[in-house]
Every structure is written in C-alpha cells, then in structure tokens.
Structure 1
Amino acid sequence: MSESSTSQQIPATAAEPLSPQVHQSIAEAVDRQLPRTIQTLTELVSIPGIAWDSFDREPLERSAQAVAELLRGLGLQDVQILTEDKPADATGEVRPGGPAVVGTRPASPGKPTVLLYAHHDVQPTGDTALWETDPFTAVEKDGRLYGRGAADDKAGIMVHIAALQALLASENDTGVGVTFFIEGEEEAGSPTFRTFLEAHRDRLQADVIVVADSSNWKVGVPALTTSLRGLVDGVFGVRVLEHAVHSGMYGGPVLDAPTLLARLIATLHDDEGNVAIAGLEQTQTAAVDYPEQDFRVDASVLESVRLAGTGPLADRLWNRAALSIIGTDVPQIEVSSNTIQPVARAKFSLRLGAGMDPAAAMKAIESHLKAQDVFGAEVFFEAGETGLPFHTDTDAPAAQAMLASLQEAWGVEPVETGIGGSIPFTADLMEVFPEATILVTGVEDPDSRAHSANESLHLGDFRHAIVAEALLLARLGAE
C-alpha cells in the first residue's frame, strides 16, 4: 500500500445497501463452494498444531504449510511462512516463534487494503476422556462441526478464504486489496506478535483490519465485538516466618501464610462482589444487557451461587474491572506436613474495561495490597504483563459497512457487543497501525466451548459469516 493510503479511502457510502443482485450472486457463490469449504476445514482440524514449547513443533509447521497452500490456491502473490525469534530464555536459548502465513493481493489504484487476521495454532486438548469425539477428527453432528480448532480459529481462516473465493466467483470483485495474516502462536500468548508487526509493517499495512477470532451473540444473531477488556496480571503474597516451624510447637500465636493470604485476597472485593480497588472506575456503558439466565447457562453457574457485583450484567462483563485469583502457591494436600507455612503466593488476573489504563491499574492494585495490615505480615508484589483494552468507533465507515453486511447475511440486526476476555495483540495492532479501523468478528457462539472439550462450530452461522465478509469486501471496494 502506498504511503498516501489511509483509512480515508473507505467510501462514505460503504454502509449503503448493496443491490439484490450483488447479494444474491455472492450468497450463491458461497453456497456452491460450502461443501468444499467445510471439507477443507475438516482437513485443517486434523492437524494438531500447538505452539507451546512443550509440544512437537512438526504439526505446527505442517499446519502453516497447509494454510500457505490454500492461499496460493487463491492466486495470491508471494505467499510466505515467516517467523520471528522469541526472547532468550533463562538458559540463553533462542527459540523461533510460531510460523505465520502471509499472502497479499495488491489493491487496485485508489482502493483500500483489508488485512484479514486469524490463527492456525490451537489449544491442547486437555483430558481427552472428556471429549465425545476424537479432538483432531472433525465430526459433523446436529448442524455443528466438532473438533479442536473447528471454531477457534481454523473456522476464521476459512471464513477469510471462502469470502475472497466467493467475491471472485460472483464477479463482484471491485479491486479491494487483501492481505492474509494467519498467525501461528496466538494460543501460546503471541510472544513474537509485536516484533512480527514491526518487522513486516510495510507488508501488513492496511486501511481495515478484520480479526476473525471472537464470538456472535448467540446462534442466529451476529455480533460485532466493539470492546475487549484489557489485562493486568501479577503475583502477590505474604511472608510471616523466616522458615517453616512445627505447627504443634508454635501454632496459635502465629497465623500461617496461607490463612493470611486468604485474608488479603478477601480485601479485593466488597460484600457485593464488586472489585474494591480505588482508581478502577468504569468509563463505558453497554448498549445491550445480558439476560442473567442466559449467562448462568453459558457459564455453567450452579443454581445456588449468587452472581457477584451490582449494576447491569453486561457492564459487569465488559466495562468494569474484574479480578480473579487464578493460581496459588501453597503446599498440596498430598505433600503437606504439620508445619506453619512461612510464605504463600497468589497469581491474579485483572480485566479492565475500555478507557482504563493498565499501568495505572497495576499501581492501584499494588498500592491496595501493600496498604493492608494482615497481622503485620510482609506483603510483596510482582508485576506481570499488561494489555490495553480495545474499543471500536462504530461510526467509522468500515464499522458501519461491517454492521450492514452482518445484517444482510443473517437477516437480523447485529448486536454491538463486548467480550469479557482480552485479545492483547489488538493493542499492538492499534499502536502499529493507528490509522486502520479494527473490526473484531467471529464464528463462535456460546455453545462453541473454545479451549474446552467438545469444541464445535455452528455450520449455519459459519455460512452466514462467510457471506457477511464477502459483502464487506464488496462494499469496501465500491465506488
């Protein structure tokens, strides 16, 4: 893309209705190729590409090669598999990051470029006894395709590929530029993502970035994810003794570190379950709400459990701070002894709503913890990683074009939704490509169970997602 190419190339009319003929021809092209699209997806699911260092790298490389061949089949120019090195580990060893696949179709003069992002690596299967089918053999049942990566995120890859195929086959190609960026380490935390963006900035430059790694509102109702929570994590703990002592000889006058850690953790929320840390005020308000019963079903909340916090449930999920303890270092029961433990640690995960500053949030939680008096125990704090929250300007022409395309493809009004989770690399995309409009879409639904056993994809919504993206590409290149 030339230096003068900016998001201003998106036509102001991008959200206007397309002619019925254009919509019909694109939908028919998607339907003609859909059986082959699903078959290709099943072939991708069969490759167990996991980017964690503890797993064999060969399937991950094979997965990248399979994606590269699919892009070459589209006629894209200069399809490459690229890697960047991770930082050296404690031993000084430098390992390569996950293999990313990049392929480009240049824009016609005066037309915008769209960067289509997805990832080909997948989560480990976990306990295979919990799966009702082989995780790496895609099985279609009751309108859903089951298998690891069937939804997250090999379906995202196929939405991108099938959308461009449909655009070309329907003869509605308007010259919009398309760059595919299929990452190979997202499930491992994208350790080389920022380095990769900076090393290949010129090739990845775009006016619009479509991140196909999110979820729809529910089956049959599409969503544009307009906000993602930021992330702050770290470790804190308490120290009460220089070394462990016999609990019978010294128990009573001295409380053990796990007990004091529990008392410290209890200060993080008020009696209603709201985060009780000063300086984490909400800045955005959700346009829709999340019905409590739907949430209870989606999150498998036990009937007796009261939901935490006050105010609209959607804001509690998307726009307010949410703090969880995700791990503790205390002796396991199987190896415990009758000693007073001198030290206990906990790892926290703090999610931040749009407008919250991760650096300020890190300082706020550290200040809160160190201000607590837990019987005079030493309180220590170790800052971890941070990620900025994300918020889409839905008035931008590209966002309006996406909303219009979703509505036409599904036949119902899309929901502008937040996601309680974080996609930290969106902050890197915002910083490296500040003029691009970032659109977070997806093919998952509340029943997809991404990262869990029995992950699945709703094939009807998969088809709609392809149509919507093809309509978007047609709109962005229209005069």
Structure 2
Amino acid sequence: MTRAQAIATAQAYFDSGRMKNDLARLVAMPTESQNPDRAPILPDYLEREMRPLFESLGFSCRILTHPKAKGPFLYAERIEDPAWPTILGYGHGDVIRGLDAQWSEGLSPWTLVERDGRWYGRGTVDNKGQHLINLSGLKAVLETRGRLGFNAKYLIEMGEESGSPGLRELCEEEAGLLEADILIASDGPRLNAQRPTVFLGARGVITFDLTITAREGGHHSGNWGGLLCDPAIQLAHAIASITSPTGRIRIHEWVPKALPDAVRRALADCEVDGGPDGPTIDPGWGEPGLSPAEQVFGWCSFDVLAMKAGVPETPVNAVPPSAWARCGLRFVVGIDAHDVIPALRRHLDRHGFPMVEIATPGTERFGATRLDPDDAWVRFTIGSIARSTGKKPALLPNLGGSLPNDIFAEILKLRTIWVPHSYPGCQQHAPDEHLPTAIAREGLTAMAGLYWDIGAGDAPPV
C-alpha cells in the first residue's frame, strides 16, 4: 500500500486499454450544448456514464437543476471524515459543435480513433478526457489505500460550452452544499505538450458588438460615393483607434498598471510553444517589452472576432448602409470588468465616434482570477507533480483563455488549482480535436500521485 502502487494502478488502467474504451463511450455521446436538438443527450451523459462511475467510487450523487442552465448538473460527494480537508472537483460533459463534415478523412467527432499516438474525437480534451483522468486518479488511490484520506465533492455541468448559464446562480444557492477547502480541476491546455502545467485562475473575457447604422438600404456608389458616409470605413477607423497598428491596447482602463513581480517570476521559465501544428508567434505584436508568456498569461488582449458590411458573398457597387463587428477583450486581475464597456464608450466618444453603438450579446462573460503563485498549496501541488512525473511543471498564474473559475474563487471563496491534460495544438473547438496518449498517461500518473499525497496528510493546512 504505497504511493508507487497507486501510480502503477493508474498507469495499468491506461496500458490495459480500459481508459481508451471508457473514453470512447463518452465521446460517442454527442453532448453539443449549443445544439438544441441534442438537449435530451445532456442528462443521459450524467445518468448513463457519470453517476455509475461516481457511485462505483463510493460517492453519493444527486442531480441539480437551475432555470437558467442549459442542462442539469451532477453533484457527487464522498465524506470520509469531516475533520479532513475537502477537495472540490469540476468538469463539464458538454462539447462544442461536432462540425462533422470538416474532420479529416477517417475521423469523426463521435468515434474515438487512435492515430499516430493521439486519440481523436470531440471531447477527448474538452472536457471528457480531462475529468475521466481525474476520476481515474481518485479510483487508483481508493483501490490502493482503501480510502482517499480526504473528503471529495464533484460538480459536472452540461453547459460550459454555452457560457455556463445557471452555474453562477446554482453556486450562490448551493454554496453550503459545495463548501470545500480547495478546487482541484482540469481544463484547458498545458504550456506545451511535453511539460506538465499548473495554472491558478483564468483571464476574464467580455465579448461585445460594435455597430454603425447610417441609413436604410445601400445606395449606388457611382451616384452617392463621396457624398454619403461609409459605415464600414467609420467602423474600421473606430476599431483601429482601440489599438496601435501592432495590437498595443490604447484604452488605459483595459490594461494593468504593471506586471506583478510574482507573475513575472512564475513566467520566467515558461516558453509558449504550440508544437508542430501550432501557429508561429508574430514578433512585435501586442504590448512592447513583454515575453510571449507574459503577453498571453499576464496581460490583456483585444481581438476582432468577425466583421461585416454590405454582402460579402455577392459584393455590389453600393455604399453600405451599416457595418458590424464582434470583438472580445481578454483581461487579467486588476481590470475593473464593470468599467470595460463604459471605458470603451468614453474612448470612442473622445475620438469622434459617437455613432458607434455598443451591445453586449452575453455570449461570453467570465471574470479574471488568479491565486497567489506563492500560496503553500501551489508549492505542494507543484512538488507532488514533479515527484510523480520527474519533470518540473510550468506554473501559470492564470490560463490565457477563460473559464468559470471566478465562480469558484469569488462565490465559493476557494483556492483554485488547475492541472490541465491537453496542449495548445489539440485543436480544441475545431475539427480533429485530439488527446495525445502520452499526455493522458502522464496525467493519470500526476493525479494519482497528487490525490495520494493529499490523503497521506502531507498537504498544507487549510
């Protein structure tokens, strides 16, 4: 009954092919929360797959609902001793749209296919494969020690890919039920495929629409060009005023005053690398003086996600009546999320663009969070993973992307530690999503060791 035996048990689960078979069943369920036709499948995922798995591990389960949610939530708990620490886990069983016709030949979003050391299928990394790894790590500890040595609670939601509607309200109403000492969960990518990673929060995100509506209908550019304002030109100039030509944000309320020393230290040995399938970083883009890691994990970024004027599919010689763009700001701790849109309004008015209308569609809005990189639980987690894998994990103060970590950090008042089991080139949200088998096996190794160490009483006090 040793730590090494628990890790060996987790590795045997992978080596025997059982994990591949279990993940194949999860992938086969098309749990697209953005597709109304798939709504009946969302509760099936919880009842047919998650509940039996949790109950086999000695968890008691119940289904939670909220009127604002896309689907139900599964709450599971295993309380071994109220005096012991309580760990909250989280995952989501819904996936982004499958995009079936766009996958490479021989691949499908709903069939797990192994090819060149990768498991292909929708949800292999986002997020079915990731929470399966964590639950299997718990199982390895139970099978080896006969108990966890700590209390465990888990929440699986079915609407994260739709912006987690209802999750915030559910956590507010069920704060007592979800009370814990720390969140340990998995989502998002590692820094790179080779290096285990821990991140402590997430950048926030706010999406918004910019629109100029000048008049009803288009007018022939030969007759009216030069006499009528062109909304597309106006909107292009308005957007261009937000950043420099190299993407440096010009709205001072949208960027932090400085990069905190603790963040700079944590990122000093982190190199952004998307692997052979990732894009090449453009030097000189963004905030001057920052490394690529500091740019994406420590700073804010503004992007134009889509633009439209006229009829792009069939252009005609007419001054367009309107122009539209959807934009997004990803921001770090220190930015006042409530002032993002008002600051934009003030900026546009100062620069002569009062005609630009701003609307927030509500499609994506998460707050920025970041646990102190010097927290004792962070050092404990890093040390445990290094001991299990033989590698020094990368420590990211926050994920470059966004997820509902602010709900756990601010509403449930939890320390938040994330151990991702993916990598930047996994094609998450795109055709050919995949999980490298080496990451899956190493993730099982890391989580079995981490859960063992928590239960052994080696964790810091909470």
- Aligned equivalents of 1:130 and 1:53: distance in 2? 18
Go from structure 1 to structure 2 and tell me whether the alpha carbon gap of 1:341 and 1:289 turns closer, same or farther (over 3 Å shift): farther
The within-5 A match list for 1:376-455 is 378-385=355-362, 386-417=365-396, 418-423=398-403, 425-434=404-413, 436-455=414-433
Give the one of 109, 112, 115 matched to 2:88.
115
TM-score (norm 1): 0.86
Q: Which residue of 1 aligns with 2:180?
A: 206
Partner AA of 1:280 in structure 2: W
Go from structure 1 to structure 2 and tell me whether the alpha carbon gap of 1:60 and 1:131 turns closer, same or farther (over 3 Å shift): farther
SS in 1 for 2:156: strand
Q: Which residue of 2 aligns with 1:129?
A: 102
Are 1:176 and 2:153 matched, yes or no?
no
Q: Which residue of 2 aligns with 1:228?
A: 202
- Aligned equivalents of 1:240 and 1:188: distance in 2? 32
Q: Which residue of 2 aligns with 1:346?
A: 325
8 Å CA contact 1:401–1:476 kept in 2: the answer is no
8 Å CA contact 1:318–1:419 kept in 2: the answer is yes
Q: Which residue of 2 aligns with 1:466?
A: 444
The within-5 A match list for 1:224-303 is 224-241=198-215, 244-282=218-256, 283-284=258-259, 285-286=263-264, 287-288=267-268, 291=271, 294=273, 299-301=278-280
SS in 1 for 2:419: strand
Partner AA of 1:68 in structure 2: R
1:452 is displaced (CA, Å) by 1.2
Unaligned runs of 5+ in 1: 1-20, 87-95
- Aligned equivalents of 1:383 and 1:278: distance in 2? 20
Go from structure 1 to structure 2 and tell me whether the alpha carbon gap of 1:333 and 1:31 turns closer, same or farther (over 3 Å shift): closer
Go from structure 1 to structure 2 and tell me whether the alpha carbon gap of 1:173 and 1:220 turns closer, same or farther (over 3 Å shift): farther
Q: 1:238-293 CA deviation, whole Å, 9 max, x = no partner?
A: 3444654332222113231111111111111113321111223334344236657x
Q: Which residue of 2 aligns with 1:90?
A: none
Give the one of 326, 333, 350 matched to 2:312.
333
- Aligned equivalents of 2:150 and 2:57: distance in 1? 15
Q: Which residue of 2 aligns with 1:102?
A: 75
Name the stretch that deviates more: 115-124 or 269-278.
269-278
Q: Which residue of 2 aligns with 1:93?
A: none
Partner AA of 1:70 in structure 2: L
Name the stretch that deviates more: 458-467 or 36-45.
458-467
1:426 is displaced (CA, Å) by 0.9
Are 1:70 and 2:53 matched, yes or no?
yes
TM-score (norm 2): 0.89
Partner AA of 2:441 in structure 1: R
Q: 1:356-400 CA deviation, whole Å, 9 max, x = no partner?
A: 2211222222211222225xx722222455422111223333222
Q: Which residue of 2 aligns with 1:50?
A: 32
8 Å CA contact 2:278–2:425 kept in 1: the answer is no
Partner AA of 1:476 in structure 2: I
1:45 is displaced (CA, Å) by 0.9
- Aligned equivalents of 1:246 and 1:57: distance in 2? 46
Go from structure 1 to structure 2 and tell me whether the alpha carbon gap of 1:296 and 1:143 turns closer, same or farther (over 3 Å shift): closer
1:416 is displaced (CA, Å) by 0.6
Partner AA of 1:471 in structure 2: G
Go from structure 1 to structure 2 and tell me whether the alpha carbon gap of 1:387 and 1:170 turns closer, same or farther (over 3 Å shift): same
Unaligned runs of 5+ in 2: 458-462
1:138 is displaced (CA, Å) by 0.5
Q: Which residue of 1 aligns with 2:455?
A: 477
Go from structure 1 to structure 2 and tell me whether the alpha carbon gap of 1:422 and 1:157 turns closer, same or farther (over 3 Å shift): same
8 Å CA contact 2:92–2:128 kept in 1: the answer is yes
Partner AA of 1:160 in structure 2: N
- Aligned equivalents of 1:422 and 1:221: distance in 2? 21
8 Å CA contact 1:231–1:352 kept in 2: the answer is yes
- Aligned equivalents of 2:201 and 2:288: distance in 1? 20
Q: Which residue of 2 aligns with 1:367?
A: 346
- Equivalenced residue count is 443
Partner AA of 1:57 in structure 2: A
Partner AA of 2:236 in structure 1: A
Partner AA of 2:392 in structure 1: E
- Aligned equivalents of 1:290 and 1:223: distance in 2? 10
Identity in percent: 25
Go from structure 1 to structure 2 and tell me whether the alpha carbon gap of 1:290 and 1:113 turns closer, same or farther (over 3 Å shift): closer
8 Å CA contact 1:227–1:354 kept in 2: the answer is no
Name the stretch that deviates more: 139-148 or 52-61.
52-61
Q: 1:58-85 CA deviation, whole Å, 9 max, x = no partner?
A: 22222122111211221212x1232211
Partner AA of 1:59 in structure 2: I
8 Å CA contact 1:358–1:387 kept in 2: the answer is no
Partner AA of 1:67 in structure 2: M
Q: Which residue of 2 aligns with 1:14?
A: none
- Aligned equivalents of 1:447 and 1:329: distance in 2? 29
SS in 2 for 1:457: strand
Name the stretch that deviates more: 231-240 or 398-407.
231-240
Q: 1:184-204 CA deviation, whole Å, 9 max, x = no partner?
A: 111111111112212322221
